[in-house]
Amino acid sequence: MITEKIDLYEFFRIARGEHAAGYLELYVGTPMEEIAPRIRPGMLVIPGGGYGMISQREAEPVALRFADHGFAAAVLRYSTNTAYPVPLLEACMATVWLRENAKRLYLNPDNLAAIGFSAGGHLAGMLGTLQEGELSEFLGEKMQLARPDAIILSYAVLTMGISTHGGTRDIITGRDPALREKLSVEKRVNEKSAPAFLWHTTEDGCVPVENSMLLAAAYRKAGIPFALHLFERGRHGLSVVNAETNVEGDEAYFRVRKWVGLSLDWLSLHGFDCQK
């Protein structure tokens, strides 16, 4: 397996702010001499952590799960405890880097998805709903490569309104009320937004299920393809729901793990070459 850590600021020659992260970790299968190289879809993994930390359970275990299904996977280590636009800029740099390096990764640049969990789902949601001209002062015309072809939003913080997660909102907005509407993903949806697969549990006590329902309604209104899966049981932060992610709970929790297969089916429907 190709494992490599990419310094995104160095690659794009953008000055790194103090204490900024902005690294991309690759999990890509090594081409085999016995068979012709397979051109893979890509998956950018964006862990959660309330924008205050990076959840390890939603990083490598997720990348390895999608790598096992034939994806060229990469984990974004974005800056925490810092406000917009820094995390979104780093997510944009990650997608642009993957597309610009698609040839050496045997990656199909037109089959690039992003998956985000909790606050990472907010970041993936903003990435999939990039606004016209947003962050072009940093990446110029390369911003045309920044929006992924599909997004998977896992128990995501999406609204900055009533049903939000307060800690996530306060960090990404810098407590600036003017940014709440701009960064509410359901208010960013337009005809250019990436198709979305959303999943949530109705008993999530950290990020209310209304977040996913609000975004699904916005996608429905805009006529953008989406899928919404709601599971009755399950606490917040289930990740891929296996022993590796140290999930504890009754058998009903483990039934939620089917979200991975459901998302692969959905990606296949939208032209992704997934191994199932």
Say if 172 falls within a structural domain: yes
The encoded tokens of residue 80 equal 């925490």
User: For the residues 1-16, what does the mean pLDDT come to?
Assistant: 94
The encoded tokens of residue 66 equal 């999608």
What integer best gives the mean pLDDT of the chain? 94
Say if 148 falls within a structural domain: yes
Say if 180 falls within a structural domain: yes
CATH number, domain at 145?
3.40.50.1820
Say if 276 falls within a structural domain: no
- Contact, 193 vs 150, CB < 8 A? no
Say if 274 falls within a structural domain: no
Say if 275 falls within a structural domain: no
Asked if residue 48 has pLDDT above 80, the reply is yes
pLDDT tier, 249 (very low <50, low <70, confident <90, very high otherwise): low
Residue range(s) defining the domain that contains residue 191: 5-269
- Torsion-angle region of residue 106: left (phi > 0), alpha (psi -120 to 50) or beta? left
Residue-level pLDDT at 247: 65
Q: How far apart (Å, rounded) are the C-alpha atoms in residues 225 and 197?
A: 9
Say if 82 falls within a structural domain: yes
The DSSP symbol for 13 reads: T
DSSP H stretches of helix in 29-83:
60-67
Q: Which residues contact 252 (CB under 8 A, 6 or more apart)?
A: 232, 233, 234
pLDDT tens digits along 91-132 = 999 999 999 999 999 999 999 999 999 999 999 999 999 999
Q: Looking at the 3D structure of the chain, how many domains does it have? A: 1
Q: What is the pTM of this model?
A: 0.97
Residue-level pLDDT at 242: 86
